[in-house]
Amino acid sequence: MNLINVMLAEDHTIVREGFRWMLEMDAGVKVVGEAPDGRQAVLLAKKLRPHVVLMDIAMPLLNGVEATRQLLQDVPTSKVLILSAHCDDAYVNQAIASGAKGFLLKQTSAHDVCRAIREVQNGNTYFSPLIARRRARRARQAMGNNASLLSNPDLTSREREVLQLIAEGKTNKEMAAELGIVIKTIEKHRQNLMEKLDIHDTAGLTRYAISTGVIENRVQATIV
């Protein structure tokens, strides 16, 4: 039997350990690495080149959506399954746009997680049943309205990174250090964000980041 190499990206240690324990019970799956945040996930995936990545959507420094986008640019053969405690359309749509092959709620059973891993490894997509039903309904509505399910502003990858860091409360100096660029460039990205989104204050950018799934509203989040 050919093992499916899986990498875990999750910032909560207890959740990550739970997923590892659950996956190790499946003889066809091998956990080859773990990352505590999105940046580490991208770096580790380049090194390990896993078949499948289980990626938490809400992580510090670089969220799961942007980490997925960057990871797949470097390791296009990997398949990404997004994990979340929430099933909001904004989260699901962002995940799909990033190139993820599926979206799982953290309440998903061990059997269904392993099934999802096999499905995406075989070239298919997989969504938790609740999400799959809602997507089918939305697709029918979109066809009737001749509308697209995804209508996001044309933000660059770097602008999305800066948006997350702004929403996390980082200063321009802290963002420049984190991204390895000068403060003037950070200021330019901030200005571009405000112009593209027609939002002209930090509080508004933060609300936008939460509403579109760039970061998770930790006040409302339930750790599963």
175 lies in the same domain as 83: no
| Per-residue pLDDT reduced to its tens digit, 53-66 | 999 998 888 999 99
In this structure, is residue 216 part of a structural domain? Answer: no
Sheet holding 126-127, edge to edge: 29-35, 4-9, 52-56, 79-84, 102-105, 126-127
In this structure, is residue 150 part of a structural domain? Answer: no
101 lies in the same domain as 195: no
Contacts of 168 (CB under 8 A, 6+ apart): 60, 61, 215
28 lies in the same domain as 124: yes
Q: Are 162 and 62 in contact (CB under 8 A)?
A: no
125 lies in the same domain as 207: no
Where residue 1 falls among pLDDT bands split at 50, 70, 90?
low
Of 110, 141, 172, the position where a domain reaches its end is 141
161 lies in the same domain as 137: no
Whether the pLDDT of residue 223 is over 80: the answer is: no
For the chain, the average pLDDT equals 85
**Number of domain units in the chain:** 2
123 lies in the same domain as 35: yes
Q: Are 148 and 158 in contact (CB under 8 A)?
A: no
74 lies in the same domain as 175: no
In this structure, is residue 168 part of a structural domain? Answer: yes
Please give the residue range of the domain that contains residue 183.
Answer: 157-211
93 lies in the same domain as 12: yes
Where residue 160 falls among pLDDT bands split at 50, 70, 90?
confident
State residue 152's pLDDT score. Answer: 52
What CATH number has the domain bearing residue 168?
A: 1.10.10.10
Contacts of 102 (CB under 8 A, 6+ apart): 80, 81, 82, 116, 119, 120, 125, 126, 127
Q: What is the mean pLDDT of residues 23-43?
A: 94
58 lies in the same domain as 110: yes
Distance of alpha carbon 166 from alpha carbon 188, whole angstroms: 13
Q: Of 19-28, 62-71, 172-181, 210-219, where does mean pLDDT reach its minimum? A: 210-219
Instruction: Give exposure, 6-22, as e/b (b: 16+ Cβ within 10 Å).
Output: bbbbbbeeebbeebeeb
In this structure, is residue 86 part of a structural domain? Answer: yes
How many other CB atoms are there within 10 angstroms of residue 220's CB atom? 9
Where residue 140 falls among pLDDT bands split at 50, 70, 90?
low
